[in-house]
């Protein structure tokens, strides 16, 4: 049995207030000197400059209706099957807006106030008032969870009644859609399960419960059990339980994509497993050290696919896992991912995502990852 400790209040506690504006360098300072950020003194000017360029690119590419355009599709083995090539994408819009929130920006205030206000209105307009499903042009439960998370963070800052009402509908849909395995899949009420879907639902539920939205404890408990049972315990070198290819592996310490012997694991799925437990309030477990080691060992495989959606969603969860784990895990990981992101940023400020929803997705996730040390977003705080 996995030995674990669950925090008494589902996560770290009350919501923290967000700062209105990020720290900016002084004109007469040494351009290479470190900039002190609330909660972390190890973020330098290169990170601030990269984030600024990324957010400016996102602002410039936002649609008049508040959305960002991306390819609607789904994972197909190691590819991304595109169903609609260029549509207003509610999931990508939520992630892009989170990139602004991660820098301390607020709706209707400052340089990006209008950008966030329009994004919020678009996402609210995508909430079905009968079912609570947040979807646009056929997007699935990934996008529903990202949108629910964003609405939760916004409600924590604004306390807008219209946001609360639609947020509760979206949360209720997640709760009702949990299947008998304790998990979720691409569509609401699906019987199958998968770790990459489970993690984003748990993240949304954690954020919602933080700010007073009703989330049944039983929903969390069942999801924790699913994640615990997806941990890979078997496997010795040379056995049939330990193997690798260019991307996938099956080794002790990883988490399975689906809870069955025929499935495999990966950096992204293992990061999702760790983040799932943290977001469910499981902070201490003897075996999570092995999982963190797996991330360190397999990071280079993911780095080689820096334009693939595996890289982006894998590091979206790995940055959360490592940040909560703390040092030495955090400092080693952040130095690697920071340097890789700074090296791959394009001249116009974007980050490429050639297999997946597109560059708005890559840019949104990159800005979130780089700004985790700022500690502005409650959901990303330790």
The structure tokens listed for 202 are 């748990």
CA distances from 353 to 138, 148, 298, 312, 345 (A): 20, 23, 20, 8, 11
CB of 122 within 8 A of CB of 88? yes
Assigned domain for 29 exists: no
Assigned domain for 4 exists: no
Assigned domain for 18 exists: no
C-alpha dihedral over 252, 184, 79, 97, to 10 degrees? -110
Is the backbone of residue 326 left (phi > 0), alpha (psi -120 to 50) or beta? left
Residue for token digits 């820096």? 306
**Radius of gyration for the chain, computed over Cα atoms and rounded to the nearest angstrom:** 19
The structure tokens listed for 261 are 């012997």
Assigned domain for 26 exists: no
Shortest CA distance to 54 belongs to which of 289, 304, 365, 372? Answer: 365
Chain centroid to Cα 322, Å, comes to: 13
**Structural domain total, the chain:** 1
User: Whole domain around residue 267: which residue ranges?
Assistant: 37-380
Backbone angles phi, psi at 188, to 5 degrees: -60, 140
pLDDT of residue 21: 31
CA distances from 215 to 4, 13, 176 (A): 21, 15, 11
pLDDT of residue 262: 56
Query: What are the mean pLDDT values of the chain's consecutive 10-residue runs (382 residues total)?
Result: 33 29 33 38 81 98 98 83 92 98 94 97 98 97 98 94 97 97 95 93 96 96 94 59 59 82 80 94 85 93 87 96 95 96 98 97 98 90 76
Name, in order, each residue with C-beta under 8 angstroms of 10's C-beta and a sequence gap of 6 or more: 206, 209, 210, 215, 217, 220, 280, 281
Assigned domain for 90 exists: yes
Task: Provide the CB-side half-sphere exposure for 111 (13 A, CA).
Answer: 13
Q: What angle do CA 17, 47, 324 make, to 5 degrees?
A: 50
Assigned domain for 15 exists: no
Residue 281, classed as helix, strand or coil, is coil
What CATH number does the domain containing 221 carry?
Answer: 1.50.10.20
Assigned domain for 108 exists: yes
CB of 338 within 8 A of CB of 34? no
Assigned domain for 24 exists: no
């Amino acid at each position: 049995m996995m030995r674990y400790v669950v925090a008494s209040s589902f996560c770290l506690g009350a919501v923290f207030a967000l700062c209105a504006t990020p720290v900016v360098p002084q004109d007469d300072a040494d351009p290479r000197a470190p900039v002190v950020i609330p909660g972390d003194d190890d973020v330098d000017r290169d990170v601030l400059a990269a984030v600024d360029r990324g957010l400016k690119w996102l602002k410039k590419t936002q649609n008049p209706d508040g959305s960002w355009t991306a390819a609607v599709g789904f994972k197909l083995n190691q590819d991304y099957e595109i169903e609609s090539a260029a549509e207003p994408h509610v999931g990508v819009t939520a992630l892009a807006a989170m990139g602004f929130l991660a820098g301390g920006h607020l709706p209707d205030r400052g340089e990006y106030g209008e950008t966030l206000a329009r994004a919020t209105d678009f996402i609210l307009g995508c909430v079905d008032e009968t079912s609570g499903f947040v979807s646009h042009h056929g997007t699935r439960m990934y996008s529903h969870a990202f949108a629910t998370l964003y609405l939760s963070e916004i409600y924590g800052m604004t306390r807008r009644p219209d946001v609360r009402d639609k947020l509760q509908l979206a949360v209720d849909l997640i709760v009702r859609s949990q299947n008998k395995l304790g998990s979720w899949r691409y569509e609401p009420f699906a019987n199958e399960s998968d770790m990459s879907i489970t993690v984003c639902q748990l993240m949304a539920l954690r954020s919602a419960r933080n700010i007073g939205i009703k989330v049944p404890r039983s929903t969390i408990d069942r999801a924790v059990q699913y994640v615990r049972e997806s941990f890979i315990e078997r496997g010795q070198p040379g056995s049939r339980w330990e193997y690798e290819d260019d991307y996938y592996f099956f080794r002790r310490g990883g988490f399975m994509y689906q809870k069955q012997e025929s499935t495999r694991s990966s950096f992204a799925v293992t990061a999702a497993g760790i983040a799932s437990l943290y977001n469910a309030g499981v902070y201490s477990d003897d075996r999570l050290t092995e999982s963190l080691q797996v991330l360190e060992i397999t990071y280079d495989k993911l780095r080689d696919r820096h334009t693939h959606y595996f890289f982006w969603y894998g590091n979206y969860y790995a940055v959360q896992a490592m940040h909560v784990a703390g040092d030495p895990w955090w400092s080693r990981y952040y130095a690697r991912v920071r340097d890789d992101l700074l090296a791959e940023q394009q001249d116009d400020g974007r980050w490429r995502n050639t297999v997946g929803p597109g560059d708005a997705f890559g840019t949104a996730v990159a800005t979130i990852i780089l700004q985790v040390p700022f500690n502005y977003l409650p959901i990303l705080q330790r």
